[in-house]
C-alpha cells in the first residue's frame, strides 16, 4: 500500500507536450513528474506507415513493451475519425500516454497535410505546438488546473471532488468518468484537444498524493488497479510489472527542465 506523500499540498504537477509536424512525419515529446517519452510517426499522405517510441523514463519495467500494441496504428487512414482510431488501438491494451501521443500525432499529421494542401505550401515547413499543463496540489478541497498552448492560456479550471466548479458554464461537469462525452460536445479544434490533454494531466497528477518508495515494495500488482487500466495493469503483465527506481521528478519550481529529459 502506498504511503501519503508528505510534500503533497505544497507543489504543482507539471506536464509539457511538444508536437512538431512536418512533411510526412510528426514528432511528439512528453514529460511530466512520472514519465518521459518521445514518439515519431511517419505517413505517406494517406495512411500511417511507421511509428517509433523512445521510453526515456517510465514507472514500470513493463511500460516499454507497450510499443508493440501501438504498432496497430500503422495503416490507419489520416482522414478517419477518432472512434476508428480508438477501435484500432484499444486504449486498455496500450500505455495510456503513448496512446494519447499517437492520437495527437495522427491529428496533427492530418491537420498539417490539410494546411499544406489548402494553402498551397510546397516547402517542408514545420508546425510546432507546445502545451504546458499545471495542476496545483489540492488546497482547501480545490485543485486548480491550467493549460496553455504556445504560451497562450486556453483552460483554467477549479476542481473539487473530480467535478468542475469553475468556469461557471461548465460547473457540475465530471473531470474523470464521463468527461470525454461532454467535452467532445462542448469544445472543438485546439480547445478540445487542450481540454483532453488537461484532463489527462489532472488524472496523472493524483499520483503526487502518494509515495511509492522504496520501489521494490510497490509492484504493479499491489496497486489494485482494474484490468485494462493500461498496458502494465493487464493480466499477464501486471504480475511482472515492477516499479522503476528513482524515476519520479518534481518540477514544481523548475518547469524549464521539462522536455530536457535529464537522467
| 128 occurs within a structural domain | yes
Q: Tell me whether residue 254 is in a domain.
A: no
Quick check: is 255 in a domain? no
Mean pLDDT computed over every residue of the chain? 94
**Per-residue three-class SS string for the chain:** CCEECCCCCCCEEEEEEEEEEECCEEEEEEEECCCEEEEEEEECCCEEEEEEEEEEECCECCHHHHHHHHHHHCCCECCCCHHHHHHHHCHHHCCHHHHHHHHHHHHHHHHHHHHHHHHCCCCCCCEEEEEEEEEECCECCEEEEEEEECCEEEEEEEEECCEEEECHHHCCCECCCCHHHHHHHHCCHHHHHHHHHHHHHHHHHHHHHEECCCHHHCCHHHHCCCCCCCHHHCCCCHHHCCECCCCCCCCCCCHHHCCCCCC
Rounded CA-CA distance 236/29 in Å is 29
108-121: average pLDDT: 74
- Domain count across the chain: 1
pTM score? 0.95
Query: Which pLDDT tens digit goes with each residue over 59-96?
Result: 999 999 999 999 999 999 999 999 999 999 999 999 99
Residue 258 belongs to a domain: no
Distance between CA atoms of residues 223 and 60, nearest Å: 12
Residue 229 in any domain: the answer is yes
Separation of alpha carbons 29 and 20, rounded Å: 9
Average pLDDT over residues 154-174: 98
**Which domain does 75 fall in, by range?**
3-246
| 31 within some domain | yes
Residue at 127 is within a domain: yes
Q: Is 45 among the domain residues?
A: yes
Percent of the chain exceeding pLDDT 90 equals: 92
Amino acid at each position: 500500500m502506498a504511503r501519503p506523500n508528505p510534500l503533497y499540498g505544497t507543489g504543482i504537477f507539471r506536464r509539457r507536450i511538444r508536437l512538431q509536424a512536418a512533411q510526412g512525419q510528426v514528432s511528439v515529446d512528453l514529460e511530466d513528474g512520472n514519465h518521459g517519452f518521445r514518439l515519431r510517426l511517419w505517413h505517406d499522405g494517406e495512411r500511417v506507415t511507421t511509428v517509433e517510441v523512445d521510453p526515456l523514463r517510465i514507472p514500470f519495467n513493463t511500460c516499454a513493451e507497450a510499443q508493440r500494441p501501438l504498432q496497430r496504428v500503422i495503416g490507419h487512414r489520416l482522414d478517419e475519425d477518432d472512434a476508428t482510431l480508438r477501435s484500432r488501438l484499444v486504449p486498455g491494451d496500450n500505455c495510456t500516454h503513448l496512446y494519447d501521443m499517437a492520437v495527437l500525432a495522427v491529428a496533427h499529421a492530418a491537420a498539417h497535410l490539410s494546411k499544406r494542401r489548402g494553402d498551397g505550401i510546397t516547402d517542408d515547413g514545420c508546425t510546432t505546438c507546445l502545451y504546458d499543463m499545471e495542476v496545483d496540489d489540492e488546497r482547501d478541497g480545490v485543485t486548480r488546473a491550467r493549460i496553455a498552448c504556445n504560451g497562450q492560456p486556453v483552460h483554467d479550471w477549479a476542481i473539487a471532488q473530480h467535478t468542475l466548479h469553475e468556469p461557471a458554464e461548465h460547473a457540475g461537469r465530471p473531470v474523470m468518468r464521463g468527461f470525454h462525452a461532454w467535452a467532445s460536445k462542448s469544445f472543438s479544434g485546439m480547445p478540445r484537444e487542450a481540454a483532453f490533454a488537461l484532463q489527462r494531466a489532472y488524472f496523472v497528477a493524483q499520483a503526487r498524493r502518494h509515495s511509492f518508495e522504496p520501489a521494490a515494495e510497490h509492484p504493479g500488482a499491489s496497486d489494485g488497479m482494474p484490468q485494462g487500466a493500461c498496458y502494465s495493469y493487464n493480466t499477464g503483465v501486471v504480475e511482472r510489472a515492477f516499479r522503476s527506481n528513482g524515476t519520479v521528478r518534481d518540477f514544481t519550481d523548475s518547469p524549464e527542465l521539462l522536455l530536457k529529459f535529464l537522467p
